[in-house]
Amino acid sequence: MSKYDGTAPVAVTVDLVIFTLRRSALHLLLIERGKGPFLGELALPGGFVRDDEDLRQAALRELGEETGVDGTRLHLEQLRTFGTPGRDPRVRTFTVAYLALGPDLPNPVAGTDAAHARWMPVQDALTCGLAFDHAAILQEGLHRARAKLEYTTVAAAFCQEPFTLAELRHVYEVVWDLDLDPSNFRRKVLKADDFVIPTGEYRAPEVGRPAELYRRGRAEMLFPPMVRA
Amino acid sequence: MSKYDGTAPVAVTVDLVIFTLRRSALHLLLIERGKGPFLGELALPGGFVRDDEDLRQAALRELGEETGVDGTRLHLEQLRTFGTPGRDPRVRTFTVAYLALGPDLPNPVAGTDAAHARWMPVQDALTCGLAFDHAAILQEGLHRARAKLEYTTVAAAFCQEPFTLAELRHVYEVVWDLDLDPSNFRRKVLKADDFVIPTGEYRAPEVGRPAELYRRGRAEMLFPPMVRA
DNA sequence: TCAATAGTGTCTATGAGACAGTATGGT
DNA sequence: ACCATACTGTCTCATAGACACTATTGA
């Protein structure tokens, strides 16, 4: 007989889909499992939610432990909860997946929890085989990130401040894997209310005319939305 | 010391934000709690996830038990998981919130689990005080439903097939609480690919010219999106 | 015939795509 | 001078909002 009262042994974890932009490609943080099932395989960083923690707190803590980065400065949102029976062979486990986006994040530091973590291009991660149902979680995270660029301002979360409009455009081009017209992109971004704020400063690229630098504006929604061809 | 291994006693539930359109107002299904904490107060329908159940299965089962409706014909999507410590005074409880949308659903049947369930206008539900953190869950469900009308075809989930374009427009007007130009609305819906499919049949209203009847098309996304003023 | 709702057509403003042309730096 | 990139301006097309107009029913 099934248990109806929630007293059956269950575990609750958070798993993180952490994206960053490195060397013109979208990268994902993966860890190599050091114990338990799927030992030695690649997996999303994550862990058990503690007794006294909120879900978001748990995600922020794992983010810090795995990347060494102060997660409070990253974009972090809940993705979806996965709980299909058998997804963890040990015990019924529900995992609350989070999506984190950040500018070119540092390499994991040796000698910490993050020692077994590394960045991998998302295209590779999609096909290399991940532990548990993490491939499905990654798929969903990628889909969410792509969709959110359209109608929100999260693209700026991938940029280190201050940034140029070319860098911001580059985010769209990499995540969507297409080219955008620089002229039309500029017009759209500058017309949108409070997407970016000009600093009046300029930065010279390796070659070509210096570009003006911007910071993130307060707007979270982008209207009208950016459209994918 | 906190437990790190997920063996602390925790419960996992699903809670449902079920919206339907009745008498020109958006309604929410609420139950009166018959036991436990918050006894006698209003709450979202929901319950424990069983050992052998997927999360979506659990949501569908609760939906059937609470409304007597075959949930497989309703729109059902996961909203977010809530797990703040203390949200349930008995035991650490994580609840996976689901959003369900359906056409004018029947009244809960006496003599079943649904006996203590009833429909309430959303405007009232927002202010009447709900058990646990259900007010926050409702808020999020309402926000999600409103947002999804913009760029998906879920509005049709509120319509009993076959339906007229006026009925579909009415969904937008009620959920968004504004008026839409019938002419422009028709143009937009018919131009969108596979949003609705004409049946060739007509239905006469109480007064006025009969309107053509439509069925839901296969499209899930709406492009270009419907815009709120 | 009238009221009420369904459906068509049209004018205008706005925003997007395409792309020409100008500005400003480094070599 | 030349190249590469930043930035500006313009033409055209598609779509949305406003709204006038026609069509079809019941009373």
Residue B84: closest CA among chain A residues belongs to which residue? Answer: A54
CA distances from B118 to B17, B40, B124, B131 (A): 13, 13, 13, 15
Q: CB-side exposure of B156: number of CA atoms within 13 Å?
A: 24
How many alpha carbons lie under 13 Å from residue A11 in its C-beta half-sphere? 19
Interface check A4 vs B, CB under 8 A: yes
Within a domain: B29: yes
Task: Closest CB to A12: pick one of B53, B84, B94.
Answer: B94
The total of other beta-carbon atoms located within 10 Å of residue A11's CB is 19
B177 and B111 share one domain: no
**Model confidence at A3: pLDDT above 60:** no
- Whether residue B225 lies inside any domain: the answer is no
Same domain, B107 and B15: yes
- pLDDT confidence tier of residue B4, bands split at 50, 70 and 90: very low
Task: State residue A4's pLDDT score.
Answer: 46
| A196 CB closer than 7 A to any strand D atom | no
Lowest-pLDDT choice from A62-66, A67-71, B78-82, B221-225 = A67-71
CATH code where residue B195 lies: 1.10.10.10
**pTM: predicted TM-score of the whole model, two decimal places:** 0.95
Shortest distance, CA A103 to any CA of chain B (angstroms) = 26
Split at pLDDT 50, 70, 90, the class of B5 is: low
For residue range B110-120, list pLDDT tens digits in order.
Answer: 666 666 899 99
Contacts of A5 in chain B (CB under 8 A): 11, 48
Tens of pLDDT, residue by residue over B60-116, are 999 998 878 788 889 999 999 999 999 999 999 999 999 999 998 888 876 666 668
Q: What is the CATH number of the domain that holds A133?
A: 3.90.79.10
B203 touches strand D (CB under 7 A): no
For A165-208, how does the pLDDT look when each residue is reduced to its tens digit (9 = 90+)? 999 999 999 999 999 999 999 999 999 999 999 999 999 988 99
Model confidence pLDDT, tens digit, residues A7-49? 678 999 999 999 999 988 999 999 999 888 999 999 999 999 9
Within 168-197 of chain A, which residues have Cβ less than 7 Å from strand C? 181, 183-184, 187-188, 191
Mean pLDDT of chain B: 93
pLDDT at A2 over 50: no
Predicted confidence at residue A8, as pLDDT, reads 74
Are residues B81 and B110 part of one domain? yes
Cα-based torsion angle of the residue sequence B207, B211, B216, B217 in order, rounded to the nearest 10 degrees: -160
Q: A93 lies in which domain range?
A: 10-151
How far does Cα B46 stand from its chain's mean position? 13
> Which amino acid, residue B35?
K
- Per the CB < 8 A criterion, the answer to whether A42 and A130 are in contact is yes
DSSP A225: P
User: Residues of A with CB below 8 A from B11's CB?
Assistant: 5-7, 10
Of B3, B48, B225, the CB nearest to A51: B3
How far is the alpha carbon of B9 from chain A, nearest alpha carbon, in Å?
A: 7
The answer to whether the C-beta of B6 is closer than 7 A to strand D is no
Domains: count for chain B = 2
Question: Which helix (H) or strand (E) segment is A140 a member of?
Answer: helix A134-151
What is the pLDDT, as a whole number, of residue B57?
A: 97
DSSP code at position A157: G
Mean pLDDT of A108-129: 86
Check whether residue A135 and residue A203 sit in a common domain: no
- Are A98 and A136 within one domain? yes
